[in-house]
Amino acid sequence: MEKRIVFHIDFDYFYAQCEEIRNSKIKGKCVAVCIFSDRGGDSGAIATANYNARKFGVKSGIPIMLAKNKLKEQDAVFLPADFDYYSDMSSKGMEIIEKYADVFEYVGRDEAYLDVTKKTEMSFDNAEHLAQQLKNEIRNSLKLTCSIGISPNKLLSKIASDFKKPDGLTTVKPEQVEQFLSPLKIREIPGIGKKTEDVFTQMDIHIIEELRKIDVFDLNKMFGRKTGGYIFNSAKGIDTEIVKERPPTIQFSKIVTLKKNSKELEFLQGNVNELCAQLNKLAINDNKMYRSIGIQFVNEDLSTKTKSRMLKNPVNSEEELKKVANQLLEEALTEQVMLVRRIGVRISEFSDVEGQSSITNYF
């Protein structure tokens, strides 16, 4: 396989850091950025918190009331999320980052992968210098800090970027892979969550070095071939997925905070139908037809769940949109354990109705 050098870049505690940049007076305090619900008061959840707040157990997903309780004796600031401002900061940051890449893969507002194999002439020393230059430019231009992982592949770089947060720079050369991974907790492998971790804990397996000793066939029996193979390869630091440019997502979406957390089909259907009517109207007004329909749950712990379907032919029919969205809703609810806090619908894969030629302002 062709040798590569890959960066994973992750802005540190991004939303809270953006707020610290906007108002320097809050730096040094415990800062929590909140998604307040429509129900008023302190109803809602934490989107992110700075490291001062994290020391007291405040992290993304926990209720605002609980976070306030944990920080009641601290100098703490609770701010509403301002996603327009964060998106603007992210765009400026990504513009800088992209200049350093042979191939740039946007992942989200606060993270990206870069293939820098040619730019660094396949030298990890050159890669470290390049990464430091990148960090300096972001700090000088935007006052933002970021953490960067450097390694031969995306998986290792993602793990490495989290290794010395905040403001970290961690390099894992090919000959250091085993030594780097061995002492890490298995939860450090992206995609391994609490349920999987619990399975291994029962087997008295806690770190990657121990995980590496399990036979791939046993992992396949436990988790299925796809997941078993992924865990087996990840424990050895193997990842063949290349950095690839991500095309911009062209879609219309609407999301709403529910009046109460729920997983009742009829209640959720009412909200979905309302969103479908709004979205289809947008499509008609723009002379667009769409082939892809999706729904999204934001659960009470702020985790998300999505389901989508590609139609055989493009439509812009409210009736068809409601029918498919409600089918997806029923499917999503069959395995749903948590209550849903917010629900969204999206349409994409657009085509023009009778010769309209340009697609603009789709996010």
**Residues annotated in a binding site:** 10, 110
Active-site residue flag, 349: no
CB atoms within 10 A of CB 322: 20
- Beta pairing partners, 77: 31
Dihedral, 202, 207, 208, 209 alpha carbons, nearest 10 = -100
SS3 call for 46: strand
Q: Which two tokens stand for residue 110?
A: 């606060």
Q: How far apart are CA 212 and CA 208, in angstroms?
A: 6
Dihedral, 10, 11, 16, 18 alpha carbons, nearest 10 = -150
Amino acid occupying residue 157:
S
- Residues that constitute the known binding site for Mg(2+): 10, 110
Contact present, 286 and 353 (Cβ < 8 Å): no
Contact present, 257 and 237 (Cβ < 8 Å): no
Which member of 19, 20, 105, 111 is catalytic? 111
CB within 8 Å of 298: residues ≥ 6 apart: 255, 304, 340, 341, 342, 343, 344
Q: How far apart are CA 296 and CA 174, in angstroms?
A: 39
Amino acid occupying residue 142:
L
- State the sign of the Cα–Cα–Cα–Cα dihedral 282, 305, 6, 59: positive
Enzyme catalytic residues: 111
